[in-house]
Amino acid sequence: MATSAEPVVRHNAAMAAVMKAILYGLLVGGAIVALLPTVWMISASFMKTGEANSYPPHFLPHAPTLEHYRTLFSRLSLGRYLGNSALVSVAVTVLSLTVNSLAGYALAKLRFRGRDRLYRSLALGLVIPVQVSMLPLFLLMKSLHLVNTYWGVIIPGMASIFGIFLIRQYALSIPDDLLDAARVDGASELRVYRSVVLPVIAPILATLAIWTFLATWNDFMWPLIILSDERRFTLPVALASLSGEHVQDTELMMAGSVVTVLPVLITFLILQRYYVAGIMLGSVKE
Amino acid sequence: MRRGPEGAQSRAAWYFLAPALLLIGVFFFLPVVASLLLSVTDFDIYAIGDPSLARFVGATNYANLLHNPTFWTAVENTFYFALVGGPLTVAVSLAAALLVNARAVRLRGLFRTIYFTPFVTTLVAIAVVWRYLYHPRYGLLNYLLGHLGIGPIDWLGDPHWAMPAIIVMAIWKNFGYNMLIFIAGLQSIPEELYEAARIDGANAWRRFRHVTIPQLAPTFLFVGVVTMIGYFQLFAEPYVMTGGGPLRATTSLVLFMYEEGFRWWRMGNAAAIAFVLFVIILAWTLIQLRVQRERA
């Protein structure tokens, strides 16, 4: 007879195998759910007109076509919206990175009176929903003649409390000795920032750059409010407007969605290392 | 002005801060304060042409809201979305984090990336896509449910199903972000705690219940607060997918504010709605912080 321990071990091994199968089943199932809408969007964008509305549904185009992309770029001037989105997103990213990093570093490492009070006042701003500011902001933009301009979209994004805090958090870890050494060598404060601070905080700048670019690209409500002339629309605003007019053209709308999503998706996939690291940093140290 | 290195640093600090403070002050804090003022005026389409036409009306806008059934519908819908969708999103995020973080799993990085992609996609485009997935006749969802014997549901056309449909899409779109934060939280739990529990004979469930959950308390708070603040601001999903319908079943407070303010140009009224939203978010955040403190 076998010893009494043996069946237990075998039983445990079998349990472990079953658990592992369940675990992978759930993981793969979750991955399918996470990917399916995006994959179907891409697939349907290559279907012939009407094919996406067939029963039973086609998962893959039977005769792939680029006609919808052609229509979008020739007749519906999607190229223009793509350009608008790129312009606005790049401008906000570059400008806000400069503004936020200067402020974040100053809050973290420079000594001045009222620093703590300023920090607390800014923190207060984090709980105010941005929608509260939108109505007067629109009137302000109107009086500055910035309604329906790119600047009207860009300016409110040029400084962000979240961005300042993210950089401050990171800059706190810069050793004071490092800064003082540069000062003793006669470097001005601006020079200290440029040649000592910026290289040290480069990783968090990369994170914030990606974060800002994606957030600006995806932003909808403010551009919807401030842009009235179609020629200035960003992609999400244009897509929302097109989807009202072309509600029956499933394949065309899927192609439009692909053009809107693909730039951010590719940016994320290439740079995800920096992006993910920053999200974890921003939350854990909170 | 102070002299010497201290003074130089202080001066530099204000120069460095000036652009950010100016921008945030003029384009955020000033409008927030102005919004409060706007909410006690009858600012409307005529006042946009000539602001001197706006008159002080006291709390009239707020009082009118209390008698406006659409306002109460919007409050109800916003709470429905936040109170049902928020906790579900957090639960799905935690489940995904536990799966991806399980010790036996290979290709963790791949699964993590796949689960996170919905979060980086453009909400408007995704809402357009889901509108077709939810199509009662040709949509993928009803097709798949049909195999399980569930009859076709008019997801976005039925007032009872429209909000659940939007909640499901929001969970899909947002769980990846919270998942990352939960993973970071899980990885910061010291392994010794689990070993000690194991020595005490705690099974997997009890280890989860008595080690994982309490250790994740700060993560729960952060994820909960951020998710709820975001969910109270529901806007683009109903704007694109349902236009607030059917029968106003998906009109959120922000959508109602947008319609009042930027479609009908009743800006005084819209500003009052915005402030109600602010108070709701502030109150809810404070409640969450207090509950957390009392538990700790």
Q: What is the pLDDT of residues B207-217, one digit of tens each?
A: 999 999 999 99
Whole-number pLDDT of residue A20: 87
Q: For residues B192 and B198, what is the distance between their CA atoms, to the nearest angstrom?
A: 10
Asked whether residue A31 carries a pLDDT value surpassing 90, the answer given is yes
Q: Which pLDDT score, from 0 to 100, does residue A1 have?
A: 45
Q: Which residues of A touch B239 (CB under 8 A)?
A: 220, 240
Contact yes or no for A31 and B115 at CB 8 A: yes
Q: What distance in Å separates the CA atoms of residue A116 and residue B270, rounded to the nearest whole number?
A: 34
Which amino acid type is present at position A264? V
pLDDT at A39: 94
Q: Which of residues 219-278 of A touch B (CB under 8 A)?
A: 220-221, 225, 235-237, 239-240, 243, 250, 253-254, 256-258, 260-261, 264-265, 268-269, 272, 276
> Which tens digits make up the pLDDT trace of A224-283?
999 999 999 999 999 999 988 888 888 999 999 999 999 999 999 999 888 887 777 665
Task: Determine contact: A123 vs chain B, CB below 8 A.
Answer: no
pLDDT at B5 (0 to 100):
60
Angle ∠(B131,A258,A60) on CA atoms, nearest 5? 75
CB contact under 8 A, B261 and A135: yes
Under a CB-based contact definition with an 8 Å cutoff, are residues B101 and B183 in contact?
Answer: yes
Quote the pLDDT of residue A282: 60
Helices (H), chain B: 4-24, 30-38, 45-49, 60-66, 69-80, 86-101, 108-120, 123-133, 140-147, 159-187, 191-199, 204-207, 213-215, 217-232, 236-241, 253-258, 267-295
Closest partner residue to A272 among B26, B96, B113, by Cβ?
B113
For residue B151, CA distances in Å to B142, B145, B154 come to: 8, 7, 10
Rounded CA-CA distance A11/A100 in Å is 59
Residue of B nearest to A213 (CA): B120
* pLDDT for A284 beyond 50: no
- Please give the pLDDT value at position B270: 96
The three-state (H, E, C) secondary structure of A40-102, written as one string: HHHHHHCCCCCHHHCCCCCCCCCCCCCHHHHHHHHCCCHHHHHHHHHHHHHHHHHHHHHHHHH
Q: What is the pLDDT of residues A201-230, one digit of tens each?
A: 998 999 999 999 999 999 999 999 999 999
CA separation for the pair A235, A89 (Å, rounded): 11
Q: How far apart are CA B245 and CA B243, in angstroms?
A: 6
Q: In this prediction, what percent of chain A has a pLDDT beyond 90? A: 67
- Is B8 exposed, middle or buried (CB count within 10 Å of its CB: 0-12, 13-18, 19+)? middle
pLDDT value at position A275?
83
CATH code of the domain occupying A68-284: 1.10.3720.10
Annotated domain spans of chain A: 5-45, 68-284
Q: Contact A214/B177, CB-based, under 8 Å?
A: no
Average pLDDT, chain B: 92
ipTM of the complex: 0.91
pLDDT tens for B73-94 read 999 999 999 999 999 999 999 9
Q: Which residues in chain A touch residue B278, judged by CB atoms under 8 angstroms apart?
A: 128-129, 132
Interface contact A283-B222, CB threshold 8 A? yes
Whether A102 contacts chain B with CB within 8 A: yes
**Burial letters for B105-125: b for 16+ Cβ neighbours within 10 Å, e otherwise?**
beeeeebbbbbbbbbbbbbbb
pLDDT band at B43 (very low <50, low <70, confident <90, very high): confident
Question: Do the Cβ atoms of A30 and B99 come within 8 Å?
Answer: yes
Count how many Cα atoms sit within 13 Å of the Cα of residue B98 in the half-sphere of its side chain: 15
Q: Please answer yes or no on whether A239 and B125 come within 8 Å at the CB atom.
A: yes
Q: Per-residue pLDDT tens for A124-177?
A: 898 899 999 999 999 999 999 999 999 999 999 999 999 999 999 999 989 999
B41 - beta bridge partners?
B56
Tell me whether residues A142 and B274 touch, CB distance under 8 A. no
Q: Which residues of A touch B275 (CB under 8 A)?
A: 132
Q: Quick one: CA dihedral B131, B137, B138, B143, positive or negative?
A: positive
- Alpha-carbon gap: B37 to the closest alpha carbon of chain A (Å): 10
A131: nearest CA partner in chain B: B274
Instruction: Determine the residue of chain A that is closest to B259 in CA distance.
Output: A225
Q: Which of B28, B50, B53, B119 to mutate to test the interface with A (most CBs of A within 10 A)?
A: B28
* Structural domains in chain B, sorted by start: 68-295 (1.10.3720.10)
C-alpha distances out from residue B240 to A22, B126, B161, B244, Å: 37, 10, 16, 9
Binding-face residues of A in 129-158 toward B, CB within 8 A: 129-140, 142, 155-156, 158
Alpha helices in A144-249 (DSSP H): 150-154, 161-171, 176-184, 189-192, 198-218, 221-226, 235-245
Hey, of B94, B120, B241, which one would you mutate to test binding to chain A, going by the most A CBs within 10 A of its CB? B120
Task: Count chain A–chain B contacts defined by CB atoms under 8 A.
Answer: 274
What's the rounded Cα separation, in Å, for the pair B28 and A128?
Answer: 10
Contact residues on chain B for A24, CB-CB shorter than 8 A: 105
| pLDDT digits 0-9 by tens, B125-162 | 999 999 999 998 888 899 989 889 888 899 999 999 99
pLDDT at A285: 42
Say if residues B257 and B208 touch (Cβ distance below 8 Å). Answer: no
pLDDT above 60 (res A3): no
Tell me whether residues B129 and A53 touch, CB distance under 8 A.
Answer: no
User: Per-residue pLDDT averaged across A44-61, rounded?
Assistant: 86
